[in-house]
Amino acid sequence: MIVADIQKSSLKEQRLQFIRNHQQAFDVEPIYPLRLFEDFVMGVEGDCTIEASCKIELDKLIASRFMLFFKDQAQEWQNYLAQSLAFFRQVENRVGVKLYYSLLQQFLGDNFDFSKLEVLSAGIDLRTNLADSSVKMHIRIGDYPEKLETAFLLSDGAADGNYLSGFVNLIGFYFYFNGKSEIEIYAEVREDDFFKPETINQVWQNFPKSALKPLQASNLFFTGLSKANNNPVLYYCLKNRQDLMNYFRLNDTAERVHSFYQHQDILPIMWVGTAQQELEKTRIENVRLYYSVFQSAEVQKLWVLGKRQEAKGKGEEKQVYLTSLGNAIL
């Protein structure tokens, strides 16, 4: 019991260290409510993934962006939702902050079937101007057509349900401190479907070659659709973050971010988000980069094993470790 408690405490400290390392590397100021988010992260029991991201706009770096993904095998989704909303309500305690949950409330309704929920995350996207800051939540559902229909209706024309219903499982909600709220619909294609005729005919024919090239190194592709984004954001999940520079011509600010994370003990995968127009340029000036760590006792053991095999240079055993790590995460 004592050993388990010590291990649990150690994992929580690692979550906080990951967040603090990101803050220190990119001179993140302690903007409200960053400390409340840290407390929220430390209060989560069980397995989780912590994601840190940077949004680059020309030479401007926005780095106060973090998400927590609930990954606990107990899948007590209703409790996780309540815990996330409790954090949001804490954020509202400050004068001048008002969050409106109407979009989320309409989506959930009165009798939401939590057995259909597959992923839940909560996070922050902070700015020095308090009104521009936001808290956010992502909900992934499976085989729940009535809720997909609700999400499309709430998107107010940003996403066409007649065309996209077979490609959507993930919905994002964004609550700004000035009372504004947004919903984002994520259309996705998995690696197994990349080269199916129906995918080529229905999806890829709408994109230029510059947008398709990164698929060679990806296992998942998203398009983020919302009223707020005139230019839909394309998201690529790279199987190996080492491939980033091979497929994306980044500016110096983005390269600095990626250089830091090349030397961190984090997951090998990463996400990249940018508009189609950026991919057609000689250099990408506006981009989002996402890096993450997965916190669980099982993965911690596998991670140590992988580091040992890496030090010994045993390729075959290291591959077994990577496979096991992937299974533990998924």
Query: Tokens in use for 27?
Result: 């001179």
First to last CA, the chain: 27
Residue listed under structure tokens 């993904």 = 69
Instruction: Tell me what pLDDT residue 288 has.
Output: 99
Angle subtended at Cα 302 by Cα 299 and Cα 303, rounded to the nearest 5 degrees: 85
Instruction: Tell me what pLDDT residue 320 has.
Output: 38
312 burial via Cβ count (<10 Å: 0-12, 13-18, 19+) = exposed
Instruction: Tell me what pLDDT residue 183 has.
Output: 98
**pTM of the entire structure?**
0.90
Q: What is the CB neighbour count within 10 angstroms for residue 292?
A: 21
Note the Cα 50 to chain centre separation in Å. 9
Instruction: Tell me what pLDDT residue 229 has.
Output: 86
In this prediction, residue 153 has a pLDDT band, given cuts at 50, 70 and 90, of very high
Residue listed under structure tokens 């390729």 = 315
Q: Is the pLDDT of residue 191 over 70?
A: yes
**261-317 residue pLDDT tens:** 999 999 999 999 999 999 999 999 999 999 999 977 665 555 555 555 555 555 554
List the chain domain ranges: 2-295, 297-330
Instruction: Tell me what pLDDT residue 328 has.
Output: 40
Q: Is the pLDDT of residue 38 over 50?
A: yes
